[in-house]
């Protein structure tokens, strides 16, 4: 992906230096790039419904019949609460710093071909998203199949999948086994297809980013820096304030000693941008350095790395609200609290389905963007800084799981390393 960005930059700088941006040839080139970008985004869109349905059904079905009931309950409560806090920190940051409130012409350039809103968005924004009570109405679509076919109705798919997963766990043993295997298989298949689509991201990124860079040029730098700053500040607040307080007052361990002990894990997550790839080293450090027993570490860490993505949830929230702010500037649409609530809710849920591999959050962002009715092509701008921010959010994801593991181990009465007062 980095190479795609470099290629894109070389092309843009060459065309700009040679003052060829307005020529018919360059315009045809831009159209070609837009086509490639659209092609790639279609691949992502194709995965939205199956990915969210299969991961929520599996998560719910396995979660509600967990054998280690007490540990499972503690782990799920930690994941839910920490993700909720992360998303609200993201919400607070993006509302305070307003990275998307920029000059109207620049915002239009950044949105590029996505600057025109689809018909169904106008309906959503004027009718159904305007009241909080309507948010709840959208949780239950009258027809699940038309909801699956309609980009703006992801919320209904989520409710249906959660109910479906829950009732799988209530089936008689033989039927439940069949269902669990079936949905696990489907989830595996969809994740493999996701990997293939993501493997094409360098070409897709080139197609998405080049037209934006060509049209907006250096003006892009300032809003992008504010956007990146908002995300990083959100991560810093989450780790340095929330996780530190949690470790100190709930886990009763010294936070910075834990962060230092986990440095190899941070580096691994940072350099691979993959929580899954960081699992072996995280397990090793949490058992050998932090002193958590294998019984707890081997349950909570793999589970956390699969379903608990706080950094990703925070990031999703900031991205979608940033895009909403851009539309607010260009189209004059006012997004109310119910829209923001919807983003919070979706960020919480979709982060569960994000795979621990590079760039997989973008599929979740695609889901949220379509569920608020915006064109998914609008996320083009985000690709410019995607890899850079992926390193940070993966590090936050993995660090959060190690913190959860230590806190759960302490609550089970384990004597872990670096307790307070020693
Ligand atoms: N790369 C992240 C991880 O592995 C997932 C994402 O946010 O894209 O945790």
Q: Could you tell me which of 362, 269, 378 has the C-alpha nearest to residue 315?
A: 362
Atom of ligand 1 nearest to the CA of 362: 8
Q: What is the CATH number of the domain that holds 259?
A: 1.10.3860
Q: Could you tell me which of 100, 389, 110 has the C-alpha nearest to residue 233?
A: 389
Query: 359 C-alpha vs ligand 1 centroid, how far in Å?
Result: 6
DSSP letter for each residue of 314-335: HHHHHHHHHHHHHHHHHH-PPP
Cα–Cα distance between 273 and 389 in angstroms, integer? 9
Does 215 fall in a domain?
Answer: yes
Does 419 fall in a domain?
Answer: no
Q: Residue 128: what pLDDT?
A: 44
Residues recorded for the chain = 422
Atom of ligand 1 nearest to the CA of 355: 5
**Residue 256: band (very low, low, confident or very high) from pLDDT cuts 50, 70, 90:** very high
**Residue 407: band (very low, low, confident or very high) from pLDDT cuts 50, 70, 90:** very high
Does 401 fall in a domain?
Answer: yes
Does 179 fall in a domain?
Answer: yes
Q: Residue 403: what pLDDT?
A: 95
Atom of ligand 1 nearest to the CA of 393: 7
Question: 357, 379, 392: which to mutate for ligand 1, most atoms within 8 A of CB?
Answer: 357
Q: What percent of the chain has pLDDT over 70?
A: 86
Q: Which of 91-95, 188-192, 328-332 is most confident?
A: 91-95
Mean pLDDT of 334-360: 82
State the chain's mean pLDDT as an integer.
82
Query: 329 C-alpha vs ligand 1 centroid, how far in Å?
Result: 30
Structural domain of residue 183, as residue ranges? 2-411
Number of independent structural domains in the chain: 1
Atom of ligand 1 nearest to the CA of 397: 9
Mean pLDDT of 239-257: 94
Mean pLDDT of 312-320: 95
Q: Is the separation of the CB atoms in 180 and 61 below 8 Å?
A: yes
Q: Whose CA is nearest to atom 6 of ligand 1?
A: 361
305-314 pLDDT, tens digit each? 877 899 999 9
Q: Residue 18: what pLDDT?
A: 66
Q: Whose CA is nearest to atom 3 of ligand 1?
A: 356
Q: Whose CA is nearest to atom 1 of ligand 1?
A: 358
158-190 pLDDT, tens digit each? 788 888 988 988 889 889 889 989 988 998 888
- At residue 273, the 3 state secondary structure works out as coil
Helices 361-371 + 337-352 axis angle, to 10: 150
Q: Could you tell me which of 421, 418, 15, 389 has the C-alpha nearest to residue 217?
A: 15
Atom of ligand 1 nearest to the CA of 276: 4
Query: 357 C-alpha vs ligand 1 centroid, how far in Å?
Result: 5
Q: Residue 261: what pLDDT?
A: 92
Question: 231, 274, 312: which to mutate for ligand 1, most atoms within 8 A of CB?
Answer: 312
**Residue 422: band (very low, low, confident or very high) from pLDDT cuts 50, 70, 90:** low
Query: 353 C-alpha vs ligand 1 centroid, how far in Å?
Result: 11
Q: Residue 248: what pLDDT?
A: 94
Higher pLDDT, 380 or 284: 284
Does 422 fall in a domain?
Answer: no
Does 416 fall in a domain?
Answer: no
Does 421 fall in a domain?
Answer: no
Query: 39 C-alpha vs ligand 1 centroid, how far in Å?
Result: 23
Please determine, for residue 277, whether its predicted confidence score (pLDDT) is greater than 50: yes
Higher pLDDT, 321 or 207: 321
**Residue 244: band (very low, low, confident or very high) from pLDDT cuts 50, 70, 90:** very high
Q: Whose CA is nearest to atom 2 of ligand 1?
A: 394
1-38: b (≥16 Cβ within 10 Å) or e: beebbebbeebbeebeeeeeeeeeebeebbeebbebbb
Does 138 fall in a domain?
Answer: yes
Please determine, for residue 395, whether its predicted confidence score (pLDDT) is greater than 90: yes
Please determine, for residue 272, whether its predicted confidence score (pLDDT) is greater than 70: yes
Measured at the alpha carbon of residue 367, what is the angle toward residues 365 and 371, in degrees to the nearest 5?
115
Higher pLDDT, 351 or 262: 262
Q: Residue 126: what pLDDT?
A: 46
104-145 pLDDT, tens digit each? 888 887 777 666 665 555 454 444 444 556 667 777 878 888
In eight-state DSSP terms, residue 419 is B
Query: 397 C-alpha vs ligand 1 centroid, how far in Å?
Result: 8
Cα–Cα distance between 202 and 208 in angstroms, integer? 10
Question: 268, 273, 304: which to mutate for ligand 1, most atoms within 8 A of CB?
Answer: 273
Query: 390 C-alpha vs ligand 1 centroid, how far in Å?
Result: 6
Query: 312 C-alpha vs ligand 1 centroid, how far in Å?
Result: 6
Please determine, for residue 60, whether its predicted confidence score (pLDDT) is greater than 60: yes
SS3 content of the chain, % helix, strand, coil (to 5): 80, 0, 20
Question: 194, 201, 274, 352: which to mutate for ligand 1, most atoms within 8 A of CB?
Answer: 274
Q: CA–CA distance from 295 to each of 53, 194, 292 (Å)?
A: 31, 32, 8
Q: Is the separation of the CB atoms in 417 and 261 below 8 Å?
A: yes
Q: Which of 210-224, 231-245, 342-356 is most confident?
A: 231-245
Pocket residues: Cβ below 6 A from ligand 1: 273-275, 309, 312, 354, 356-361, 390, 393-394, 397
Q: Could you tell me which of 364, 284, 301, 249 has the C-alpha nearest to residue 79?
A: 301
Cα–Cα distance between 26 and 38 in angstroms, integer? 18
Q: Residue 362: what pLDDT?
A: 84
Question: 301, 304, 397: which to mutate for ligand 1, most atoms within 8 A of CB?
Answer: 397
Query: 362 C-alpha vs ligand 1 centroid, how far in Å?
Result: 9
Cα–Cα distance between 205 and 407 in angstroms, integer? 40
7-47 pLDDT, tens digit each? 777 777 676 666 666 677 777 887 888 888 888 878 877 87
Q: Is the separation of the CB atoms in 279 and 52 below 8 Å?
A: no
Entry pTM: 0.79
């Amino acid at each position: 992906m980095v190479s795609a960005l470099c290629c894109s930059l070389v092309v843009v700088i060459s065309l700009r230096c040679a003052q060829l941006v307005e020529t018919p040839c360059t315009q045809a080139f831009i159209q070609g790039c837009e086509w490639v970008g659209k092609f790639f985004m279609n691949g992502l869109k194709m995965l939205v419904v199956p990915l969210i349905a299969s991961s929520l059904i599996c998560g719910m079905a396995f979660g509600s019949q967990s054998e280690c009931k007490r540990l499972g309950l503690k782990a799920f409560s930690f994941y839910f609460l920490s993700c909720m806090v992360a998303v609200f920190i993201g919400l607070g940051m993006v509302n305070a710093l307003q990275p998307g409130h920029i000059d109207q012409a620049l915002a239009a350039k950044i949105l590029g071909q996505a600057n025109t809103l689809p018909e169904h968005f106008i309906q959503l924004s004027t009718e159904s998203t305007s009241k909080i009570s309507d948010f709840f109405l959208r949780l239950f679509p009258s027809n699940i199949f038309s909801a699956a076919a309609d980009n703006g109705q992801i919320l209904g798919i989520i409710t249906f999948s959660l109910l479906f997963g829950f009732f799988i766990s209530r089936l008689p043993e033989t039927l439940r086994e069949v269902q669990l295997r079936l949905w696990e298989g489907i989830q595996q298949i969809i994740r493999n297809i996701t990997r293939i689509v993501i493997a094409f991201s360098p070409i897709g990124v080139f197609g998405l980013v080049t037209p934006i860079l060509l049209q907006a040029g250096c003006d892009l730098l300032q809003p992008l820096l504010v956007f990146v700053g908002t995300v990083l500040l959100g991560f810093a607040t989450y780790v340095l304030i929330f996780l530190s307080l949690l470790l100190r007052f709930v886990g009763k361990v010294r936070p910075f000693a834990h962060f230092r002990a986990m440095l190899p894990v941070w580096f691994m997550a940072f350099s691979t941008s993959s929580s899954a790839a960081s699992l072996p080293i995280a397990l090793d450090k949490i058992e050998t350095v932090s002193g958590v027993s294998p019984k707890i570490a081997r349950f909570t860490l793999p589970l956390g790395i699969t379903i608990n993505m706080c950094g990703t949830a925070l990031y999703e929230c900031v991205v979608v609200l940033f895009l909403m702010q851009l539309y607010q500037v260009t189209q004059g649409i006012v997004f109310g609290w119910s829209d923001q609530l919807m983003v919070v809710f979706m960020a919480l849920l979709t982060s569960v389905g994000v795979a621990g591999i590079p760039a997989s959050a973008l599929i979740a962002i695609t889901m949220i963007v379509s569920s608020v009715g915006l064109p998914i092509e609008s996320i083009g701008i985000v690709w410019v800084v995607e890899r850079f921010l992926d390193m940070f959010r993966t590090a936050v994801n993995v660090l959060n799981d190690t913190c959860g593991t230590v806190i759960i181990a302490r609550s089970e009465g384990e004597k872990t390393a670096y307790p307070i007062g020693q």
